[in-house]
Chains A and B, each alone.
Chain A
Amino acid sequence: MLLSKKERDFRRSYSDYHAMVLNALYHRVGNMEDAEDICHELFVSYYRKFDEVRDARSWLFGAMKFCISNYYRKKAGDNQATIDIDTMEDDINLAFENGARDMRIVINEALEHGDNYRDEKDRILFDLVAINKYTYKEAAKELGLTARQAFYRYQQISRRIVDYLNKRGITRIEDLL
């Protein structure tokens, strides 16, 4: 074969996660130039550690925090205090009242629950459409699906997440809206 297994797997993994990672970075840093630079750095590290990575999603999102922190430290100079990304993210959660925070935890569990997704593509599709507000067509293009396939899959995932919430005692989503 023309390419080694590592190159093939890395290309597939890059293709799957690139948009999701870049969206998350854009959301955190607020501008595309910085997001692209951090994303580049992140994927270069990912390539170098590719053989050791077992769970691509966890690795990428874990490493993202360090990359953001490092990027800003480099940008501001070494004298600058380290930016704690975890603290930044926690601030969003703390903005909720106690009851709402509990609800947020339950919803987060539903979103993270592996059985709600048939495969990793499902999970990425859900993130792109529900979280990042991609259209079905855009998400389909990103994942190598047709828009119809993306729509169908998305409906299935939503149904499974709603079922999960039902099992956790949230029988009427309307009541929470």
Chain B
Amino acid sequence: MKKPGHEAQQLERLLGKYRFTQPVPPEVRDGILSSKKERYVRVLKTAGAFTAVYGVVASLYFAAKKAGIGLTIAKVLAAGMALLTISIGGYYAASAVRDRLLPASDKPAPGAALSDSGWVDEIMLFDGRIIRGAIISRGDPYRVRTASGTLLIPRKHIKAVRPLAGESAPAR
């Protein structure tokens, strides 16, 4: 039985004998392979067709080809779609895992984004208004970060403060 490559070897010898071969020295081959992009750009420049975009595309194309990646528009689009699909899928998977692992009490309450610490307070004023937000400082006045901005509330106007998020929050 013939071993793999036997036919190729014989054919090469045949081509050599009948002078079909045109061997190129290794250093010349290296030169040909390494400066392909530069020569391509020179051709386009001489032909008057070179633009910066062509230069960038040529760099990407020849770099990909050198790396053994055939870069076609279809492949670029397919890779883009795959990346997008994986990103979206990953986001939803991570969200689902987080919802499953976090206990309900740890889930942030609506408006919790107002506070860095996750606390949201409900501030009841003597005039009946209720303000929801994160208390930044408890001096006089109180500084409260709300969805509409930071409010300064004089201490004398505050009737009660009730935490909305966090079970261990002390009653105030």
Contacts and interface: CB of A to CB of B under 8 A. Distances in A.
Interface string A93-115: 00010001001100110010000
A142 B28 CA distance: 14
Interface in A29-88: 32, 36, 39-40, 43-44, 47-48
B65 A144 contact: yes
Interface in A128-173: 130-134, 138, 140-146, 154-155, 158-159, 161-162, 173
B79 interface: no
A26 B65 CA distance: 23
Contact of A32 (B5, B18, B31, B46): B31
A14 B43 contact: yes
Nearest to A160: B7
Interface string B31-57: 111001001101110110100011001
B29 interface: yes
Given A40-B39, A132-B24, A15 B62 contact: yes
Contacts of A176: 14, 17
A17 B43 CA distance: 14
B33 A141 contact: yes
A100 B21 contact: no
Interface residues of A, number: 54
Contacts of B8: 130, 154-155, 158-159
B144 to A, nearest CB: 53
A47 B33 contact: no
A172 B18 CA distance: 16
A158 B53 contact: no
A19 B31 CA distance: 10
Interface residues of B, number: 46
A18 interface: yes
B54 A130 contact: no
A96 B18 CA distance: 9
Given A39-B39, A141-B66, A7 B49 contact: yes
Nearest to B15: A130
Contacts of A131: 15, 20-22
15 contacts: A11-B57, A15-B61, A15-B62, A40-B43, A47-B43, A104-B19, A107-B14, A130-B8, A138-B33, A140-B68, A158-B7, A161-B11, A173-B14, A176-B17, A177-B13
Interface of A: 1-3, 7-8, 11, 14-15, 18-19, 22-24, 26-27, 32, 36, 39-40, 43-44, 47-48, 92, 96, 100, 103-104, 107-108, 111, 130-134, 138, 140-146, 154-155, 158-159, 161-162, 173-174, 176-177
Given A108-B20, A130-B15, 20 more contacts: A2-B53, A11-B40, A15-B61, A19-B33, A24-B22, A40-B42, A104-B19, A107-B15, A107-B18, A130-B20, A134-B24, A134-B29, A141-B65, A141-B66, A142-B33, A146-B68, A158-B11, A159-B8, A173-B10, A176-B17
